[in-house]
Amino acid sequence: MLMVDKIKKWLELFAAQLHEKKTYLSELDSAIGDGDHGNNMARGADFLLKSLDQSGDTSAVFKNAAMALLSKVGGASGPLYGSALLALSKKAGETDDRSEWIAAGAEAIAHRGKSEAGDKTMLDVWLPVQKALADGTLTHEKIDAFVAETKSLKAKKGRASYLGDRSVGHIDPGAQSSGYLFHAFLEAGA
């Protein structure tokens, strides 16, 4: 399969998961945020799928997807995923190394969100996934473990940070949706 087709398959599988897990993602966000993460991401999934109709190479696919999320999806997550995909678009023009793509995406999230490792955000999945990719050791089990590990963290960024200590004991919703992104990545063989 051509690389660009694998990337499209990756994003299609991600979008399908976001629809399937919409209620669960909003439940997670109800516990420590405003309960809209599932809706935000399902809306994003619709625009993302539409963006895949446009033709172009891998860089263009990421860029179109990024623009769709940046312009159409509200909340913290739209701009954060949009920025990450934009960084992937740029990096895909320079190298085929997936760990470098994900490193660029994580850097974009950290920059846009002014967040870092341990803040209990999506970054706490992107960063360890990046490491595992670089080592060639990424598995579905590891992704689930990275998501689950956000439970014990105290939120320092985003709405969940308003809860302080009460954010502990809950999975971060953006970490969970990012988990779906990387499960889809493995499934697509992207």
Binding residues (CB under 5 A) for Mg ion: these are 29, 33-34, 36-37, 75
DSSP per-residue string spanning the chain: --HHHHHHHHHHHHHHHHHHTHHHHHHHHHHHS-S-HHHHHHHHHHHHHHHTTS---HHHHHHHHHHHHHHH--TTHHHHHHHHHHHHHHHHTT---HHHHHHHHHHHHHHHHT--TTSSSTHHHHHHHHHHHHHT---HHHHHHHHHHGGGSPP-SSGGGGGGGGGTTS--HHHHHHHHHHHHHHHHT-
CB of 18 to Mg ion, least distance (A): 14
Tell me which of Mg ion, ligand ADP, none is bound by residue 174, counting a contact when its beta carbon lies within the kind-specific cut-off of 5 to 8 angstroms. ligand ADP
- Complex with ligand ADP: residue 51 or 158, whichever CB lies closer: 158
Instruction: Please choose which of Mg ion, ligand ADP, none residue 172 contacts, taking the beta carbon within 5 to 8 angstroms, the exact cut-off set by kind.
Output: ligand ADP
| Residues forming the site for ligand ADP (CB under 6 A) | 29, 33-34, 36-37, 40, 75-77, 80, 109, 113-115, 121-123, 157-159, 172-175
